[in-house]
């Protein structure tokens, strides 16, 4: 078993981003700028946004966090997005999900100018990704591809089983792994809560991507000997063992599964750190206008 070490890989890639960010500042007189909009007081969302902002600073980006109360109207939120779309000093913009129930996430996502959509959730970016055209790839799947690339893992010809079909992780991951490039070139099975005999499906996988949101859902008896295991899950449980007051668990039972796998990501210290890297890379590309002019 070898570890896909998000700490190591994210630190190395962030060094490169920092250099490029400094070069961008030297040539343009300004820093790449990411704006994050947070609505309401969800503890996990607040932690994720704070971490994104902290990482922007680390690599020399400018970052702005706009925090609205949970009762902001959909119209007011979309008006702000339009203002940011028109603001030349803003390169990338994200709206942290989930949103309160009275706000339609699809309307919000589509309000963002696709050229500033560094989360890669806009239908234009998703469509272009599916056709293998330049686009912003959703940060988590992008981070996973960067991790596989870093370790030189050739996925060509593998059978990939993605567990979970969300718009932000499972679905885009399945598209990316099926594309005609490496990492990719996989035969992909996309599974979800309605899949029959899910254990048998997962057992066929050479590479498993678990994005379910259920602690230790994937157990050793579901994993073929030698499989690559990518654990996206972040399940928070209150704990008095840690300073923060909670502990994170993956969707994979790491202790049990690790000895059967060829490569595996830990939680924490795996995909979560790579997601930030995906977002930073997209923001840099947005600033440099290397995807869209
Ligand atoms: P969603 O809740 O949007 O999607 C979960 C998916 O899992 C759904 O497609 C659902 O199926 C499927 N599912 C649920 N229960 C089962 C089951 N018993 N068997 C098979 N499939 C099941 O979650 P996300 O994709 O947003 O997130 C998944 C996990 O990844 C969460 O823990 C989240 O916190 C984490 N996450 C981590 C990130 C990171 O940076 N590491 C980034 C984003 C998310 P159905 O569609 O049928 O309901």
For residue 231, which of 192, 204, 198, 258 has the smallest C-alpha distance?
258
Q: How far is CA 110 from the centre of its chain?
A: 19
Parts of the chain with a pLDDT under 50:
none
pTM as predicted: 0.97
Locate CATH 3.40.50.720 in the chain.
Answer: 139-274
239 is in an annotated binding site: no
The answer to whether residue 52 is catalytic is yes
Tokens of 9: 């890989």
Measured in Å, residue 161 CA sits from the centre of ligand 1 at 14
Residues in contact with 76: Cβ distance below 8 Å, sequence separation at least 6, in sequence order: 68
What is the number of the ligand 1 atom nearest to the C-alpha of 211?
28
CATH annotation of 139-274 = 3.40.50.720
- Among residues 117, 119, 231, 251, the one annotated as catalytic is 119
The annotation status of 166 as a binding-site residue, yes or no, is yes
The backbone torsions φ and ψ at residue 220, rounded to the nearest 5 degrees and listed phi first, read -60, -35
Cα–ligand 1 centroid distance for 250 (angstroms): 11
Burial classification of residue 156, based on how many CB atoms lie within 10 Å of its CB (0-12 exposed, 13-18 middle, 19 or more buried): exposed
Query: Is 174 annotated as a binding-site member?
Result: no
In this structure, the residue with its CA closest to atom 16 of ligand 1 is 193
Q: What is the pLDDT of residue 244?
A: 86
* Residue located nearest, by CA, to atom 4 of ligand 1: 166
**Whether the CB of 138 sits within 6 Å of ligand 1:** no
The tens digit of pLDDT for each residue in 121-136 reads: 999 999 999 999 999 9
CATH 3.40.50.10860 fits 29-113, yes or no: yes
Cβ of residue 213 lying under 6 Å from some atom of ligand 1:
yes
In this predicted structure, what is the pLDDT of residue 189?
98
pLDDT at 78: 98
What are the residue ranges of CATH 3.40.50.10860 in the chain? 29-113
Gyration radius (Cα) of the chain, Å: 19
d(CA 80, CA 87): 11
Helix (H, G, I), strand (E, B) or coil at 198: helix
């Amino acid at each position: 078993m070898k570890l896909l070490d998000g700490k190591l890989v994210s630190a190395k890639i962030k060094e490169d981003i920092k250099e490029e960010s400094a070069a961008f500042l030297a040539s343009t007189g300004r820093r790449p700028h990411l704006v994050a909009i947070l609505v309401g007081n969800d503890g996990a969302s607040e932690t994720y946004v704070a971490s994104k902002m902290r990482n922007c600073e680390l690599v020399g980006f400018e970052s702005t966090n706009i925090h609205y109360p949970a009762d902001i109207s959909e119209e007011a939120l979309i008006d702000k997005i339009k203002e940011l779309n028109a603001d030349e000093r803003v390169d990338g913009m994200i709206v942290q999900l989930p949103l309160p129930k009275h706000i339609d996430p699809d309307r919000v996502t589509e309000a963002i100018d696709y050229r500033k959509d560094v989360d890669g959730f806009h239908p234009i970016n998703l469509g272009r990704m599916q056709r293998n055209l330049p686009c912003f790839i959703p940060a988590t799947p992008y981070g996973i591809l960067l991790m596989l690339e870093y370790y030189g893992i050739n996925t060509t010809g593998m059978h990939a089983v993605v567990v979970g079909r969300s718009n932000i992780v499972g679905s885009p991951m399945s598209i990316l792994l099926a594309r005609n490039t490496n990492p990719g070139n996989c035969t992909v099975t996309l599974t979800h809560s309605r899949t029959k005999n899910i254990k048998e499906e997962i057992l066929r996988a050479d590479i498993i991507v678990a994005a379910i949101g259920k602690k230790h859902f994937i157990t050793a008896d579901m994993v073929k000997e030698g499989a690559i295991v990518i654990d996206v899950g972040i399940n928070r449980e209150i704990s008095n063992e840690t300073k923060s007051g909670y502990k994170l668990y993956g969707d994979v039972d790491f202790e049990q599964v690790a000895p059967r796998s060829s490569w595996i990501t830990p939680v924490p210290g795996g995909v979560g750190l790579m997601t930030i890297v995906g977002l930073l890379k997209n923001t840099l590309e947005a600033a440099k206008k290397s995807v869209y002019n």
